[in-house]
Amino acid sequence: MSIRKATSQWKGTLKDGKGTMNFSNYSGPFTFKSRFEEGTGTNPEELVGAAHSGCYSMFLAALISGEGLTPESVETTAKVHLGKDETGPLITTIELECNVKCIGLSQEKFEELAVAAKQKCPISRLVAAAEIKLSATLAG
């Protein structure tokens, strides 16, 4: 299996500092404001959302392909909720919203595969401590 690498650097205090995240062909800033308020740059939760939505879409496409069908598209949005408990900040919930176009896929089989992808994609398994909500729609 593959090993992927990402790096980050933070300079300064939590509130006044700034950082940079780097992976593949991406390099971008992150700050206290981009994470906890509204500011320019990205944040770890956004990247978790990108990873989760991409992983879920690919896994669901693989499951659909395993049924001998070819999905026209699998589009997934992940909304990552950052909250906190007595220990500190944590991801509490991830809402996956998925829309699929696939000729020949029944609603019943789609629902079965959508739930299986939510349970089995590697990022879902990684973030299993968070509540993962799924809303999946099959285009008619």
E strand spans, the chain: 6-11, 18-23, 26-31, 73-85, 88-101, 131-138
**Are 13 and 71 found together in one domain?**
no
- Mean pLDDT for 95-101 is 97
pLDDT of residue 94 exceeding 70, the answer is yes
| 1 domain-assigned | no
**Are 28 and 62 found together in one domain?**
no
pTM over 0.85: yes
Print the domain residue range for 67: 44-138
**Are 59 and 102 found together in one domain?**
yes
**Are 16 and 68 found together in one domain?**
no
- How many CA atoms, within 13 angstroms, populate the side-chain half-sphere of residue 32? 7
How far, in Å, CA of 113 to CA of 32, rounded? Answer: 38
Q: What is the pLDDT of residues 41-54, one digit of tens each?
A: 999 999 999 999 99
pLDDT of residue 38 exceeding 90, the answer is no
> In this predicted structure, what is the pLDDT of residue 1?
80
